Amino acid sequence: MNRTNADSVSNAARAANLELYEQASTVSGYVLSRYHAKRRELASGLLARSLASMPTGPLLEIGSSAESLIPSLSGRQVITSDISLGALYEAKAAGVCLNAANGLPFRDASVAAVVSGELIEHIFDVRAMVEEFRRVIKPGGVLVLTTPNLATLQDRLRFLTGASPRQVDPLHPYLHLHIRPFTASALRRLLRTCGFEVTALRSNFVGWEWNGHWLEWRWPARLVPGIGGSLIVAARRR
């Protein structure tokens, strides 16, 4: 594929994502489900445990929607941002409307942490985005992000039988918009390459789709995060 065609595909995928995720209702409709509530709880917990060893400065959330991942933290300024003006309006808090794929309008080493939930899988140039996160984080600062797992337990079995993992199913009603799915090892490698040291990896549930029903178990995701539904990672800027 030549550069012109590649750019056309990239632009078409961006347009499809923008059309869906500029609507505040897209995120608010599912974000407080049991599955996503646990994902958000784990991400907030990793951030809270990192506070004591974090440099001073504000906390920046990329893709905050109307329900921020950042808990109420004494003494810390929180900057929220989202592509959706509607989501920022629903949050009833000051925020920055931006498309993170186009870079971040913040100075180098200006924030103590970046938090990003369920965003990186929608981006073509994930390395550029993570390097942009690193640019704005102070040395010793923290990145907390979450993303769906390509290699869940059921998806590993699907692949062995010749079926498509859910994250790369072109006919799935919303997962077809996930451009860059990650396994735990691929996510660790990306973060290391971009100048981060991974300090924690968690997962919310091991899920299983059966006869139109969705089943979830917590304990196997605690034991083996790499087979769970969401990958929740904390990493420190080297």
Q: Enumerate domains of the chain plus CATH numbers.
A: 3-237 (3.40.50.150)
Q: Is 139 helix (H, G, I), strand (E, B) or coil?
A: strand
| Residues, the chain | 238
pLDDT for residue 91? 74
Buried b (16+ CB within 10 A) or exposed e, 164-186: ebbbeeeeeeebeebbbbbbbee
pLDDT for residue 24? 52
CB of 192 closer than 8 Å to CB of 229: no
Q: Quickly count: other Cβ atoms within 10 Å of residue 4's Cβ.
A: 7
Residue-by-residue pLDDT tens, the chain, 238 positions: 444 544 554 455 555 555 555 555 555 566 778 999 999 999 999 999 999 999 999 999 998 877 888 877 767 899 999 888 877 877 766 789 998 988 999 999 999 999 999 999 989 899 999 999 999 999 999 999 999 999 999 999 999 999 988 888 888 877 878 889 999 999 999 999 999 999 999 999 999 988 889 999 999 999 999 999 999 999 999 9
Q: Which region holds residue 106: left if phi is over 0, alpha if psi is between -120 and 50, else beta?
A: beta
CB of 208 closer than 8 Å to CB of 215: yes
pLDDT for residue 57? 95
Distance from first CA to last CA of the chain, Å, rounded?
A: 36
DSSP 3-state percent helix, strand, coil across the chain (nearest 5)? 40, 25, 35
Predicted model pTM? 0.88
